[in-house]
Amino acid sequence: MQELLNWARRLVYPAAMCLLLWAGWQVLASPFVFDSSGKIIAVYDGDLTVQDCTEAAHMTPDKENISEQALGGFCAAWRALPKARPEVDLLNVHNEKDDRVESKTTKMYQQLASRVALGPVAGVISLLTSPDSPPVVRFCRTMQIPLLLAVAANDDLMAPAEDTSGLVFRMMPTNGRQAEDMAAWLDQQVHGRQLRVAIFHEPNTFGEFLQRQLNHVLLPKTRSKEITLFNFEVTEQLEFADLMPQLWCERLDMIVYLGFAPRAMDLLNKLRWYKADDQVTCPARDAFKKVTVLLSSGAYNEELNDPEKYAFPFEIYAVLPTQPAAMKAAKPNRPNASQDDEETAASEYGYDSFSLLEDLAAQKFKIPSQPVGTSKTGHDYHFDKNGELMPAEKNHYQAYLLASSRPERKQ
């Protein structure tokens, strides 16, 4: 009997090795470890945790929380389906985000691994912003699970060196595309004159990247003196009030803000109420009424499209990947909005992410993909070999004149 046990022990190790080799071969032979009929894991960052999309119907998303807005759209898409709906698993990583970077990343890995271990997965949808998305990208790339980035636009998230080809897909045009579209719009404003433009940028990955890209793309115009740029860094110590006399005397045509809404609103209000005093030695002008302000996507606040709340004596444009919800609601052919239809851009991306993952799974995530379906965002969801949204007429940022502008006051 003892000899028989010894032989059994000797056979255990070869058998285990064969099992590991077989499992490794299965991973290599199949491009992804996933089941198209499995559940969809949606990763979001919210102050409140909802157990499922039915409960999410009673959630009021924070207007300043893009991830919560995207979750609302994602769940609205799930509820719009007939009863035969795929299973969704909502993962809130809000608590993990408050930790140190290393601890936060480890906890996000653990959370994702625990959800994947519960059963077959069709794919993961990240409803997180760019700064919070890298751990999800790395996890899905390592586990070979398809991933959709619904609202992340950072150019470096899907660098070719990270080998996300055919695995990670970005739904929103990149920030690099935003810089190019902003530069093209500024170029259109030249009209044979010398354009004087002040560029304010915040010292973060979003603002600094846009500022570098915008200056680079506009370099031929600045060298030919068609456009003159004045660059300002928006630090915590910067007081816009202290800059008003300088901006006044520079005879600016345009002001561009590259950053986020709180400080952008501060600048807009300073421009709105500034009155030159006797200590300003340059010639008097009609305040900043002749100035046009261009906001980056991060600096846009939906309340700026409410003329009952704001009225600025100069034109304000926002460069956005989709038309503002207020403008869509103003169209006469738009049906009465339901609770699910009162959308922000983030909720529209969340809505599209649900059906888009199913469409890509049906194509077996073939790269380049075939164009997939219609969308609330209006994008043509067609991806290149790296999973990037392919350039198309619809896949651009556009400058929208906001309702808080009062161009008639410029007369």
Task: Write the burial class of residue 133 (CB in 10 Å: 0-12 exposed, 13-18 middle, 19+ buried).
Answer: buried
Query: For residue 380, is pLDDT > 80?
Result: yes
* Contact status, residue 70 vs residue 127, Cβ threshold 8 Å: yes
How far apart (Å, rounded) are the C-alpha atoms in residues 288 and 248? 7
Residue 43: name the closest of 114, 108, 117, 120 by CA. 108
Number of Cα atoms under 13 Å in the Cβ half of residue 251: 7
| Owner of token pair 């403008």 | 327
- Higher-pLDDT residue of 337 and 219 is 219
Query: For residue 31, is pLDDT > 50?
Result: no
| Owner of token pair 């799974």 | 361
Query: For residue 392, is pLDDT > 70?
Result: yes
pLDDT at 280 (0 to 100):
72
The band of 22, judged by pLDDT with boundaries at 50, 70 and 90, is: very low
- Higher-pLDDT residue of 241 and 201 is 201
Residue range 91-109: mean pLDDT, rounded: 74
Query: For residue 238, is pLDDT > 90?
Result: yes
Query: For residue 28, is pLDDT > 50?
Result: no
pLDDT at 100 (0 to 100):
59
pTM greater than 0.75 (yes/no): yes
* Contact status, residue 399 vs residue 297, Cβ threshold 8 Å: no
Terminal Cα distance for the chain, rounded? 103
Query: For residue 33, is pLDDT > 60?
Result: no
pLDDT at 369 (0 to 100):
72
Query: For residue 411, is pLDDT > 60?
Result: no
Measured at the alpha carbon of residue 136, what is the angle toward residues 25 and 211, in degrees to the nearest 5?
130
Helices H, strands E: what count in the chain? 13, 11
Q: Mean pLDDT of all residues in the chain?
A: 83
| pLDDT-above-70 percentage for the chain | 81
The 10s digit of each residue's pLDDT in 281-327 is 777 566 688 899 999 999 998 888 888 899 999 999 999 999 987 67
Task: Write the burial class of residue 92 (CB in 10 Å: 0-12 exposed, 13-18 middle, 19+ buried).
Answer: buried
Query: For residue 161, is pLDDT > 70?
Result: no
pLDDT at 118 (0 to 100):
87
Residue range 23-33: mean pLDDT, rounded: 44
- Higher-pLDDT residue of 117 and 26 is 117
Query: For residue 378, is pLDDT > 60?
Result: yes
Query: For residue 1, is pLDDT > 80?
Result: no
pLDDT at 278 (0 to 100):
62
Residue 369: name the closest of 393, 396, 387 by CA. 387
Cβ-based neighbours of 269, under 8 Å, separated by 6 or more: none
How far apart (Å, rounded) are the C-alpha atoms in residues 314 and 4? 90
The band of 409, judged by pLDDT with boundaries at 50, 70 and 90, is: very low
- Weakest mean pLDDT among 43-47, 245-249, 268-272, 376-380: 245-249
Residue range 355-359: mean pLDDT, rounded: 88
Rg (CA), the chain: 25
The 10s digit of each residue's pLDDT in 304-314 is 888 889 999 99
pLDDT at 287 (0 to 100):
64
The band of 260, judged by pLDDT with boundaries at 50, 70 and 90, is: very high
How far apart (Å, rounded) are the C-alpha atoms in residues 214 and 176? 9
Residue range 212-216: mean pLDDT, rounded: 97
Highest mean pLDDT among 12-16, 91-95, 211-215: 211-215
Residue range 147-169: mean pLDDT, rounded: 83
Residue range 49-73: mean pLDDT, rounded: 90
* Contact status, residue 70 vs residue 347, Cβ threshold 8 Å: yes
Residue range 324-347: mean pLDDT, rounded: 61
